[in-house]
Structure 1
Amino acid sequence: MTTPSADGKRALAAAKSIFDGRVPPREMGAIMVTLEHAVATVLLAVMDGDAGKAAAMLNEGLAPGIEQRLAHHASRKGGAT
């Protein structure tokens, strides 16, 4: 399995776990709270518990990467960002 394929499968498994049977449009708030917890937990783990470094990674690394993925998805679907 290629790395992008493995990453995609991991992301899908994580999303399913975060949704945990909840309906995204109806239970968006609860799902987003769980996502916030998950992102904060992962950032703190990879930054060895340093909250400052975790916040910097969120702002300088994670957010731009997510924006790029959303833009790519929109361009493939024919939508605008």
Structure 2
Amino acid sequence: MILNASVPYALDLPGPYAKRVILYLEARNLLDRTYAASAQNLANSVDPRTCLENAAAVLAATPGSVSSPVPHATSAVG
């Protein structure tokens, strides 16, 4: 769940040049959570010399192994 807050405020002005001022305050992602828009399986492999799983650096260097997610985007309605 994403928690956003917004406060709009409109002020009518008596002057001849500006009729109205609209102020808008918005705070996004108040709970400070990070969301992943997509996920992909990691390629896992075993080192034939040691019979242990390869380290994260080896997996990260494997093409197509890691898919970086798109940051979560929100839009204001109004």
TM-score range for the pair, normalised by the shorter chain length: under 0.3
**Could you say which structure has the higher strand fraction?**
2
Q: Normalization by structure 1: what TM-score? A: 0.22
Rg larger in structure: 2
| Structure with more relative contact order (C-alpha pairs < 8 Å, separation 6 or more) | 2
Which has the larger helix fraction? 1
TM-score scaled to structure 2, two decimals?
0.23
